[in-house]
């Protein structure tokens, strides 16, 4: 997910609250081996729900709150943690095409995804489906016809069949789908004159592939909310391109219900003002919005590798960024229906290995599931909005 990370210093956020850091350090954040605060080992050895206030409860009916999770987290302490803090979850990778249909057309591996979806729904959590079509993590068979490249008609048929089969399989259990992910670029990858990424889907089928994928999803599950999901959705150029696409789909009577803001942020980018303008611009299109993959790197920009440890100052700065961004999303809760962070803890962040192997700690809980100052900042923002 290449990004041209511009460094925009956000306007000064409210000053640090030493209390947040004190809470985190008392929780063992500085002591390294202290047990997870409040995760009481029950007689059976499995941890009970954490004692930290539930984020899902703090957000309450105002906004779904959740995390990207993996099938490996559906047991023990992590399972209890997820059930405690989330009212919605999304599979980080388990519901992507390469995971659901790795070998050949029409042959599906649903077990891991079903376990994740059923785990969530058994505990009253909603599930976002991520993602039906993307230029990454697609199975090799999709674009090949023997040793040749698939024809346009073949590819349309395969895409429609995949989407129909998958959306039908999860129908009634997945309330929102990222139908299409990252189809527009703003200079960081080859694109057509309209800014549409020159992926194989775009190149082989043509720009109308976007109508094809949304129409197939709507036909398979008319009740699911259908999202276009992307990064840098707050940039003016992306707002222009995505808005044009939404208007075009709506003019053709193709169902699209929402825009997903991945919101992969850093200490210095993007500004709250840009995000606010974008949320208001998309709201004028008559679509809802989810913040789908929020994380806030300690580095000044996503592309940097200058941070070597989570110092108190960096954690406080990160907490302030979470406070100002989540504060915006909550102020716009009439437009933003869900907020998910991209991982349960710093032990599970893609930013530790993208765009290079590095130290990063972009989430609300540290690698031992201990709450960081960022957790307290988000909790306080949710409680203030009550
Ligand atoms: O499944 C294989 C495993 O068999 C193999 O042993 C292992 C060794 O490399 O790789 C595993 O695949 C990895 C996959 O995640 C599943 O864990 C890939 O290497 C790895 O590249 C892939 O990374 C994911 C990335 O999307 C792929 O682009 C990240 O976990 C995931 O967080 C990230 O999520 C994306 C969203 O879907 C869309 N928005 C951007 C976001 C960050 O890129």
Type and span of the H or E element at 337:
strand 336-341
Hey, whose CA ends up nearest to atom 28 of ligand 1? 136
Residue 70 CB less than 6 A away from ligand 1: no
CA of 96 to the centre of ligand 1 (A): 10
Residue 262 CB less than 6 A away from ligand 1: yes
Residue 353 CB less than 6 A away from ligand 1: no
Pocket test for ligand 1, best of 71, 92, 93, 180 (most atoms within 8 A of CB): 93
Ranges of residues in the chain with a pLDDT under 70 are 1-49
| DSSP SS3 for 268 | coil
Residue 293 CB less than 6 A away from ligand 1: yes
Hey, whose CA ends up nearest to atom 15 of ligand 1? 93
Give the active site residues. Answer: 182, 293
Pocket test for ligand 1, best of 3, 135, 137 (most atoms within 8 A of CB): 137
Residue 6 lies in a domain: no
Residue 292 CB less than 6 A away from ligand 1: no
CA of 79 to the centre of ligand 1 (A): 21
The pLDDT score that the predictor gives to residue 20 is 58
Domain count, the chain: 1
CA of 93 to the centre of ligand 1 (A): 6
List all residues 6 or more positions away from 192 whose beta carbon is below 8 Å from its beta carbon.
Answer: 198, 202, 207
Residue 1 lies in a domain: no
Phi/psi at 225 (5° precision): -80, 130
The pLDDT score that the predictor gives to residue 35 is 37
Q: Which of 166, 187, 163, 287 has its CA nearest to residue 228?
A: 287
Q: How many CA atoms lie within 13 A of 171 on its CB side?
A: 13
Rama region for 374: left / alpha / beta (φ>0; ψ in -120 to 50; rest) = alpha
Tell me the pTM: 0.90
Residue 232 CB less than 6 A away from ligand 1: no
CATH number at residue 109: 3.20.20.80
The pLDDT score that the predictor gives to residue 2 is 45
Q: Cβ distance 112 to 154 under 8 Å?
A: no
Pocket test for ligand 1, best of 189, 297, 350 (most atoms within 8 A of CB): 350
Atom of ligand 1 nearest to the CA of 68: 32
The pLDDT score that the predictor gives to residue 39 is 37
List all residues 6 or more positions away from 214 whose beta carbon is below 8 Å from its beta carbon.
Answer: 179, 180, 226, 249, 254, 255, 256
Residue 221 lies in a domain: yes
Give the domain extent around 219: 18-31+47-385
Q: Cβ distance 238 to 208 under 8 Å?
A: no
List all residues 6 or more positions away from 114 whose beta carbon is below 8 Å from its beta carbon.
Answer: none
Hey, whose CA ends up nearest to atom 38 of ligand 1? 181
Q: Cβ distance 132 to 213 under 8 Å?
A: yes
Residue 93 CB less than 6 A away from ligand 1: yes
Q: Which of 176, 175, 135 has its CA nearest to residue 159?
A: 135
The pLDDT score that the predictor gives to residue 38 is 37
The pLDDT score that the predictor gives to residue 18 is 53
Give residue for tokens 């999202």: 227
Residue 346 CB less than 6 A away from ligand 1: no
Hey, whose CA ends up nearest to atom 3 of ligand 1? 99
DSSP per-residue letters across 127-167: EEEEEEE-SSS--GGGGEETTEEPPHHHHHHHHHHHHHHHH
Residue 274 CB less than 6 A away from ligand 1: no
Hey, whose CA ends up nearest to atom 25 of ligand 1? 350
Residue 40 lies in a domain: no
Hey, whose CA ends up nearest to atom 33 of ligand 1? 350
CA of 184 to the centre of ligand 1 (A): 20
DSSP per-residue letters across 171-219: TTT-SEEEEEE--B-SSSS-B-TT-BB--HIIIII-TTHHHHHHHHHHH
Residue 7 lies in a domain: no
Residue 3 lies in a domain: no
Atom of ligand 1 nearest to the CA of 70: 17
CA of 92 to the centre of ligand 1 (A): 8
Residue 213 lies in a domain: yes
Atom of ligand 1 nearest to the CA of 136: 28
């Amino acid at each position: 997910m290449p990004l041209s990370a511009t460094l925009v210093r956000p306007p000064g956020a409210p000053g640090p609250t030493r209390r947040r850091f004190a809470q985190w350090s008392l929780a063992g954040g500085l002591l390294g081996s202290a047990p997870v605060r409040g995760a009481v080992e029950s007689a059976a050895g499995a941890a009970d729900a954490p004692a930290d206030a539930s984020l899902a409860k703090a957000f309450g009916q105002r906004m779904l709150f959740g995390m990207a999770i993996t099938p490996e987290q559906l047991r023990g302490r992590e399972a209890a943690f997820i059930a405690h803090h989330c009212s919605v979850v999304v599979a980080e990778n388990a519901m992507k095409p390469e995971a659901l249909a790795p070998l050949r057309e029409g042959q599906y591996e649903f077990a891991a995804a079903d376990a994740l979806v059923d785990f969530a729904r058994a505990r009253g959590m909603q599930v976002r489906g991520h993602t039906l079509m993307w230029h990454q993590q697609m199975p090799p068979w999709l674009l090949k016809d023997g040793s040749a490249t698939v024809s346009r008609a073949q590819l349309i048929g395969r895409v429609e069949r995949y989407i129909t089969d998958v959306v039908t399989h999860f129908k009634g259990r997945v309330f929102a789908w990222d139908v299409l992910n990252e189809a527009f670029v703003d200079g960081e990858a080859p694109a057509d004159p309209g800014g549409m990424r020159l992926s194989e889907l775009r190149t082989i089928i043509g720009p109308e592939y976007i109508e094809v994928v949304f129409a197939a999803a709507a036909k398979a599950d008319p009740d699911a909310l259908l999202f276009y999901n992307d990064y840098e959705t707050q940039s003016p150029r992306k707002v222009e391109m995505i808005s044009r696409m939404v208007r075009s789909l709506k003019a053709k009577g193709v169902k699209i219900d929402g825009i997903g803001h991945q919101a992969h942020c850093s200490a210095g980018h993007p500004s709250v003002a840009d995000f606010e303008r974008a949320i208001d611009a998309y709201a004028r299109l008559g679509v809802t919005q989810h913040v789908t993959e929020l994380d806030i790197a300690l580095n000044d920009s996503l592309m940097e590798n200058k941070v070597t440890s989570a110092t108190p100052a960096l954690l406080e700065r990160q907490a302030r960024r979470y406070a100002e961004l989540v504060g915006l999303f909550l102020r716009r809760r009439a437009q933003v229906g869900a907020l998910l962070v991209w991982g349960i803890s710093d032990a599970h962040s893609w930013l530790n290995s993208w765009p290079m192997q590095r130290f990063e700690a972009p989430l609300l809980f540290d690698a031992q599931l201990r709450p960081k100052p960022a957790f307290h900042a988000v909790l306080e923002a949710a409680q203030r909005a009550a």
